[in-house]
Structure 1
Amino acid sequence: MKNSEIKFQVDLDENSFPKSIKWDASDKEGSGLEDTKSISLNVWDNQNHSTLRIDLWTEEMSVVEMKRFYIDILGGMAQTILNSTADEYMSEEIKELCDRMVKHVNEENKAG
């Protein structure tokens, strides 16, 4: 059996706000910690049948980047739900939502 490990290192300021976020994974290309501006981690809690979430971002993460990050996450979820359950309806609904949100963000950026 193969073992894979993912690590996150978060440096916090005096108010416990992330100043820097770094990550590493045993299966990623290259070695060593890499910087990122944001992480979103979801874990299924079998015991309580609920989702546990950790969402962290640094002050360098712009509002536009944050919106695009979450649109990207939802798009990935659309593909995952299709791959894992073959539920085309759910997958398409999520993709259509992503398309509407991309349009919204693009229009918002033009106006700003």
Structure 2
Amino acid sequence: MKDSEIKFKINLDDSNLPKSITWDATDKEADGYESTKSISLNVWDNLNQSTLRIDLWTDEMSVAEMKRFYIDVIGGMAQTILNSTGDEYMSEEMKELCDRLVSHVNEENAKS
């Protein structure tokens, strides 16, 4: 058995808002910390039977990027629920939501 670590470093401004976010992981291809504009971390709190969430983003992340990020997150969760539970209905509903959200974002972009 081996240990694997994922580390995040958050640089905060005077108002405690993220100015920069970097991350590193023992199992990623490149060595050293890499920059990112946003993280979304969800942890199951077994004691309280609830989800703990940390959502952080820098002011460099555009609205369009944020929308794309969360569509990708939901799509990834759809695949995870399928892989972990075999629940095709729930996975398909989530994928269909992603499709609707992509259409919504595309319509917004066409208006701009």
Report the TM-score when normalising by structure 1.
0.99
Letter of the 1:65 partner, please give it. E
Secondary structure in 2 aligned to 1:41?
strand
Which residue does the alignment assign to 1:56? Answer: 56
Superposed displacement of residue 111, structure 1: 0.2
Letter of the 1:97 partner, please give it. L
Secondary structure in 1 aligned to 2:42?
strand
CA distance in 2, matches of 1:56, 1:75: 19
Letter of the 1:60 partner, please give it. E
Does residue 1:41 correspond to 2:30, yes or no? no
* Runs of 4+ off more than 4 Å: none
Q: Could you list the runs of 5+ residues in structure 2 that have no partner in the other structure? A: none
Superposed displacement of residue 80, structure 1: 0.3
Which residue does the alignment assign to 2:90? Answer: 90
CA distance in 2, matches of 1:30, 1:70: 25
Letter of the 2:58 partner, please give it. T
Q: Percent identity between the aligned chains?
A: 76
Deviations 1:54-109 (CA, angstroms, capped at 9, x unpaired): 00000000000000000000000000000000000000000000000000001101
Secondary structure in 1 aligned to 2:4?
coil
Task: Count matched residues.
Answer: 112
Deviations 1:6-56 (CA, angstroms, capped at 9, x unpaired): 000000000000000000000000110000000000000000000000000
Which residue does the alignment assign to 1:77? Answer: 77
